[in-house]
Structure 1
Amino acid sequence: MSKEYFNKILEGDRGALKRALYKASTGYSDEDLKKPIIAIANTYTNANPGHASFNKISEDVKKGIIDAGGTVMEFGTIAPCDGIAEGNVRMRYILPSRDIIASSVECMTRAHSFDGLVLLGSCDKIVPGLLMAAARLNISSIFCNAGPMYPAHYDGKDWDGNIITEAIGWKQRGLIDEAEFKKIENLAEPCVGSCAMLGTANTMCSVAEALGMSLPGCATIPAIDKERDTIAYETGKAIVSLVKKGIKSRDIITKESIENAIRLIMGIGGSTNAIMHLQAIHYDAGLGVLPLQEFDRLSKATPQVASIYPASEYDMVDYHLAGGVPAVLKSLYPLLHTEVMTVTGKTLGENLASFSESKEEKVIRPLSSPFHEHGGIGVLSGNLSPLGSIVKPAAIPDHLKDVTLKAQVFESEDESIEEILAGNVEANTALVLRYEGPKGGPGMPEMYRPMKALEGMGLSSSCALITDGRFSGSNRGLFVGHISPEAYEGGLIALVENGDLIHIDINGSKIELLVSDEVIEERRKRWKRVEKTIYPGYLETYKRVTDSAAVGASVR
């Protein structure tokens, strides 16, 4: 048999059984199977608002693939919602799910030898999981998100889902009754889409676009806008073009494009979680370990040119109307590697030639007049975190950027919340939450609730929260996360005691435990690792094989 089939595993007599199986599954014809086989990794679920529209989006992608001369095959994978999982035990599964998503897409794609891959995802750990899969597979790949939801509107203001947290406080203080609380609950999340703030989900969708893995403008188109249907269709056409041109994911995901993505994160003041996700993508692209120091270097060399909720009153729709990712990249243009390839088949520079800088300077400013001289994420080092830790300088009040605070130690998130709400935390305290890292948690849950509890008790302007866990993209205040090495691995955070002094210098990039070496060595002799009771199953596996938060907290 001469070469009739684009996909080599379907060629000849040895491909006959495979062809027969495809014909039996959904009635593919010989003509269908001769075309490029494009898989859609569809993370649709009606259990997650950020993913509830992917069945519709998938249909638009399919039309684009078919019209461009491809054949569509589709499979699914998991897509848990961070907001629904929020809470200590449930949240432990969220970061580990990223690696399950990456591995499931890898397994299905390798087993079937698809020619091209469309990755449909929107939310916090799903987007990086899909991009990690693309980086591993090195086949023609493209990403498309569902888009952010519109904000809620209440009392003359736009809100994201965090209005619920505020409303709980209003209700407890007697400012609203049960009926008003229920009204707020029912309007807080007004439609499908990723949450209406620049949290991890929308940061990572912006990262995908900055990497060149999604079409220009894709990240910020609101979920229910007609434009979302159009870009899904164009995504389907684009993947067939990528396959025919032989442009693969590692032609796009390079050291240079990852540096562009880091600058984008710094330029928009994106979520701190994006750091570990880019580290994992970098590793899976065969580029080795991406050290935290590289993020620190680029943060200090990249002004923050965009200010989006929770850093300002302007939400994701405002970000989109101001020009979205292309407008930010246009502002950062002199700092970027513009020669890198993208899923359009053109370079980043060629793509940006058709865009102008934003005219909405309340949201996106030119490089010459940024919101902040340095990027939105910083890296601290010192004896308490020799491998590095993460802060968000723009979220920290100026009076807390160089402080020495007294430690109050907690072995878990739940313990800290109980003490905060009971009024047992004083001003000028450094709350140390440990055994919440990748291994100690396990799963490195977000310390969202303790920070919100500090806000609710009026302590966020006088206290710090230091942890080997993570933080939510919606947190504000002096928080230091990703402390590495973590407590479970014997990091110095495991030896901190109540009353110790901790010095935090944001501008100097330092975090130090002010205790003598002799005292530390004495404590280390007495140290016993805390082992938490967890559900049997995947968390046990993740705990055994995950690496440090300093290099991405991924399964390697």
Structure 2
Amino acid sequence: MTDHSQKKLNLRSNFEPGSTRWAVRRAQWLAMGIPEEDFEKPKIAIVNTSSKLSVCFQHLDEVTARVDAAIRANGGLPFEVRTAASSDFVTSAGLQGRYLMPTRDLMSFDVEVQIEGAELDGMILLSSCDKTTPAHLMAAARLNIPSIVIACGYQLGSACGEKHIDIETLYNSVGSYKAGDIDLDRLTELSRFAIQGPGVCAGLATANSMHILAEALGMTLPGNSPIRAGSERLYGLCDAAGKRIVEMVLEDLRPRQVLTAAAFRNAIRVAVALGTSVNVVRHLAAVAHEAELELDVTAEVERISSEVPLIAQIRPNGSTRIEDFEAAGGCRAAMKALAAILDREAMTVSGRTVGDITDASPDPDSPYLATLDSPCSDEPGLTIVRGSLAPLGAVVKIAAVPVHIRKFDGRARVFENEAEAIERLNPRHPECISSGEVVVLRMMGPKGGPGTVFAASFMAALQGTGLAGEVAVVTDGELSGLNSGITIGQVMPEAAEGGPLAYVRDADTIAIDLNRRVVDLLVDHDEMTRRISQPLSLPPSRKGWLAVYRATVGPLSRGAVVGDVSVVEDARNAR
């Protein structure tokens, strides 16, 4: 145990004796049973997003207890702080998932209010599910006090008959049910086996992707991701993080010393090499924005994707399960495999550089992880496409698109309501979606929703119908890392910002060439000029948080951050 009792630490939480803040805080803490000898120790927040709504968060109270004990054992004074949280498979029920993206920013502000309001010295952030990791990274970058993220792990699936079932299987099976390929009894049976235990989705969807990138950024301890929720390895990391956060406070090692441009480029290399979720682009952009970096994340992904091949084929990009990737060494092993192209000098919360960590890591020896010299594919996992339909770029998980369908020209079918689009997948519908069409899901971005619509449900349903290789999808809505097929997401500018997506009409021709990284709307200049001259109508917005979100959210190209200064300036200039 570290003993800080012999000297008074120069901490911002140690208020001047005799001041009002000092007196009332003493009274509060004495009434809570905190010993007086603890008052001048480093005060560490444990940010817990525990919720009884979702299995993603089911285990976080146990994680909190373990971290609490470790902080105490190493001379710190821990305070559990609970915040809002969203689950992409539970909180998405309301308003077609419009609350999900806005909750990311709400969580980051929740952390800010509680930790800055109390002037604590450091924080450990327990990240689980899609939006919590980027929210925690955003808060750490903004507050810039010593911080460690703990990625709290993934759930397991199980066997159903002779087939292994997980949440991806169930997700895609909804489309099979809609198409009449399976009945409700079968879908019900699959739901009984899809999730066994706590944690996030068991594939390279957004949650595991962001867990991995938190480590690649240097904001977790080495070896944290992916990791099985509830495992002894996770609890061992809790012990190490509780010790390390106290050291970081004393060293004054802060997030902006870790979240440098070099760290983001390292994380993007990992994202491209593994084929992570398309959503990581907006989240990395948001974290870079909060860190006040002048970094165009989309342009960096575009550049790096031309240089870095695919070194793993984790579901849905291939057959490798997330637990296989963990056994192969996870993010740490992937960074070892990529060591020759990483910035070695990037600092991590461990106090060691990326170079120090990769030098100390063994060479990967697993059939589930390839090398730069002998990759799974010479192509990247993620890439950026541009063109007349996406002048500021759009994101494609190209690792999940078969080579034979990389070029696709089709007639547009435009929807501003995802539920309606899903209904049109029913082959018995008189206006059903058919092979060769390009489905446009628009007014589903941050400002258009308002709050990004969870368009991933359409993609899953499309996959289940068997049309995923025959129908392309272009959207400004939110996709899932579990989605596959000809899917172009995060189209920028979004339709509600006046991007070209807003002016697509049914039967327009859209040309997609993923080999050339191009997506074009084939409408002549005069006709496009006429369309753009028409006033743009946004979907209605109800009162409450979503109305506040629409009024204050920044563009997707900068991560769709609430409170983006440019939004305030644009509004002032418009008056």
TM range (shorter): over 0.9
Which residue does 2:406 correspond to in 1?
401
Displacement of 1:177: 6.3
Q: Distance in 2 between matches of 1:379 and 1:171?
A: 33
Aligned amino acid, residue 7 of structure 1: L
Q: Distance in 2 between matches of 1:316 and 1:403?
A: 31
* Alignment of 1:533 onto 2:560: no
Which residue does 1:521 correspond to in 2?
529
Q: Which stretch of structure 1 is more off in the superposition, 497-506 or 256-265?
A: 497-506
The C-alpha deviation readout for 1:226-268, integer Å capped at 9, x for no partner, is 1111111111001011111111111111110111111111111
Closer, same or farther: CA 333–312 of 1 in aligned 2, 3 Å = same
* Alignment of 1:544 onto 2:546: no
* Alignment of 1:123 onto 2:94: no
The C-alpha deviation readout for 1:184-208, integer Å capped at 9, x for no partner, is 2222111001111110000000011
Pairing of 1:295-314 with structure 2 (within 5 A): 295-314=301-320
Q: Distance in 1 between matches of 2:342 and 2:109?
A: 31
Closer, same or farther: CA 68–534 of 1 in aligned 2, 3 Å = same
Q: Which stretch of structure 1 is more off in the superposition, 164-173 or 452-461?
A: 164-173
Gaps of 5+ in 2: 1-5, 565-575
* Alignment of 1:253 onto 2:259: yes
Q: Which stretch of structure 1 is more off in the superposition, 199-208 or 280-289?
A: 280-289
Which residue does 1:410 correspond to in 2?
415
Pairing of 1:274-285 with structure 2 (within 5 A): 274-285=280-291
Which residue does 2:568 correspond to in 1?
none
Which residue does 1:507 correspond to in 2?
515
Contact 1:267/1:306 (CA < 8 Å) preserved in 2?
Answer: yes
Closer, same or farther: CA 521–302 of 1 in aligned 2, 3 Å = same
* Alignment of 1:459 onto 2:464: no
Displacement of 1:353: 2.4
Q: Distance in 1 between matches of 2:361 and 2:52?
A: 35
* Alignment of 1:7 onto 2:11: yes
Which residue does 1:146 correspond to in 2?
152
Task: Count residues with an aligned counterpart.
Answer: 553
Q: Distance in 1 between matches of 2:405 and 2:537?
A: 31
Closer, same or farther: CA 182–425 of 1 in aligned 2, 3 Å = closer
Contact 1:468/1:484 (CA < 8 Å) preserved in 2?
Answer: yes
Displacement of 1:477: 0.5
Q: Distance in 1 between matches of 2:71 and 2:96?
A: 38
Which residue does 2:504 correspond to in 1?
496
* Aligned mate of 1:482, from 487, 490, 493: 490
Which residue does 2:229 correspond to in 1?
223
Closer, same or farther: CA 430–350 of 1 in aligned 2, 3 Å = same
Displacement of 1:305: 0.8
> RMSD over aligned Cα, in angstroms?
2.0
Displacement of 1:354: 2.5
Which residue does 2:445 correspond to in 1?
437
Taking every aligned residue pair, what percent have the same amino acid on both sides?
Answer: 34
Which residue does 2:199 correspond to in 1?
193
Aligned amino acid, residue 267 of structure 1: A
Q: Distance in 2 between matches of 1:411 and 1:181?
A: 28
The C-alpha deviation readout for 1:381-425, integer Å capped at 9, x for no partner, is 111111111111111122321222111212221221222222622
Q: Distance in 2 between matches of 1:20 and 1:459?
A: 64
Which residue does 2:424 correspond to in 1?
419
Closer, same or farther: CA 324–174 of 1 in aligned 2, 3 Å = same
Contact 1:4/1:11 (CA < 8 Å) preserved in 2?
Answer: no
Closer, same or farther: CA 180–398 of 1 in aligned 2, 3 Å = closer
Moved over 6 A (4+): 172-177
Aligned amino acid, residue 489 of structure 1: E
Gaps of 5+ in 1: none
Q: Distance in 1 between matches of 2:319 and 2:313?
A: 9
* Aligned mate of 1:112, from 102, 115, 118: 118
* Alignment of 1:364 onto 2:369: yes
* SS at 1:405 equivalent: strand
Q: Which stretch of structure 1 is more off in the superposition, 324-333 or 141-150?
A: 141-150
